[in-house]
Amino acid sequence: MSVVHLRDPLVPTALQCCVAINAGGVPRFWATIYDLTDLSALAEGSRRRTLAGIDAFYVRVEVMYGADVLDRLLVTLDIDSVSHALEAFLLREQNLAAFEQRGVGGRWHAASRFVLSTLRNIAAARGLLQEIGSLRQRLQDLERRIGRLEFPPAPHERTIRALPAAVLQDLYEIFDPRSERNPFRSEVERFRNFTLFHVLLHCGLRAGEALLLPVDCVRSQHDPNLVRDRHWITVRNMFDDGTETDRRALAPSLKNTYALRQIPVTDRVAALIRDFTSMFRRPSSDTEALFVSNRGRPLSQRMLELVMARANAALSRTAHDLLVDQRGNKQAKFTAHDLRRHPSKRAVQARSSRGR
């Protein structure tokens, strides 16, 4: 009873996705249909979390009615039994949230939306929504009951994510390949991480987006109005075209379809990427990914987190104290996601103007 990702070479590429399975390893029927129809535009991480919530509801129904019964309740439009199961599931989620001191989270929303969408589709496929007004009314009553049962999440303090300017200045020095404070051993690693740091910071990319960039990600075109070249990066999943398979255990992904976009880059960042590609990127015959490991394989999310953790450990005491003061947490640390927000353009530009 879990969510797995199908990656076997025997599975067609179009079907290599997250799947909720029962105790016997068989995919849950209506959950799989819902994933392929309603969740197809979501990123892998979002699909996995949503399916995990739906799988938790399947488990709760099994406790109440028996193994593998939810699919039958849905296909027979047994709205009373499904409604009672939803109420029991919400009660359990509320108890867990109170014990763990958190809000009633996404598992409840994932389960309730899955149930309502599936019931509507089954009823519509049978023509019942038009022919039997009572069924439509029962569906509407179920939606209203679910709406009344929902509770807003527990309030939480908003965390300031932008890095203080002094912390960012410290990071510029740490990632500088020629800095004595740079914690990375080889020249290849230093220039790779230096380039990765600039791409995350100046292009505003998410970590997963940066790990999906191909070697030739920078495009240029002469602008006659500016009398100079303009550069941009097209953010996309380089593995979607099927020419190469992403074999990372936890493959990065775009957040959603809106993540496909073009981002202008400065002359400095464009030159940095090209210099890194031509002079420092470890040769690889296995991948066209821009950022690769010491073995020439696409850099993993885990390795990126280790890079940021080592840089975080190299922060000066002053910079670390600033993070602690800003976030009110003695264990405060910066992550790759923090680099998406500039604390002040003046501080960034002042530091960026310095040579490599």
User: Could you read off the pLDDT of 99-142 as tens digits, one per residue?
Assistant: 665 666 678 888 888 988 888 888 888 877 654 455 556 656 76
> For residues 40-72, b (16+ Cβ closer than 10 Å) or e, as one string?
eebbbebbbbbbbbbbbbbbbbbeebeebbbbe
**88-97, 236-245, 336-345: the lowest-pLDDT one:** 336-345
Compute CA distances 345 → 165, 225, 241, 319, whole Å: 9, 26, 37, 18
Q: Are 302 and 211 in contact (CB under 8 A)?
A: no
What would the two tokens of residue 132 be? 């039997």
- The confidence band for 313, taking pLDDT boundaries of 50, 70 and 90, is very high
Q: What is the rounded distance in angstroms from the CA atom of residue 112 to the CA atom of residue 179?
A: 54
**Among 45, 20, 16, 44, which Cα is nearest to 32's?**
20
Length of the chain: 356
The per-residue pLDDT for 17 is: 65
Q: What are the respective helix, strand and coil percentages of the chain, to the nearest 5?
A: 55, 10, 35
The per-residue pLDDT for 148 is: 65
Which residues have C-beta within 8 Å of that of residue 276, sequence separation ≥ 6?
A: 191, 192, 194, 195
Q: Are 343 and 168 in contact (CB under 8 A)?
A: yes
Indicate the average pLDDT of the chain. 80
Average pLDDT over residues 60-87: 85
Q: What is the rounded distance in angstroms from the CA atom of residue 1 to the CA atom of residue 141?
A: 31
Q: Could you report the per-residue pLDDT of 269-294, keeping only the tens digit for each?
A: 999 999 999 998 987 778 899 999 98
- The confidence band for 98, taking pLDDT boundaries of 50, 70 and 90, is low
State yes or no: pLDDT of 352 exceeds 50.
no
Compute CA distances 116 → 7, 40, 112, 285, whole Å: 30, 18, 6, 48
State yes or no: pLDDT of 198 exceeds 90.
yes
What would the two tokens of residue 157 be? 């303090």
End-to-end CA distance of the chain: 52
Average pLDDT over residues 58-78: 87
Q: Are 111 and 57 in contact (CB under 8 A)?
A: yes
Average pLDDT over residues 215-220: 90
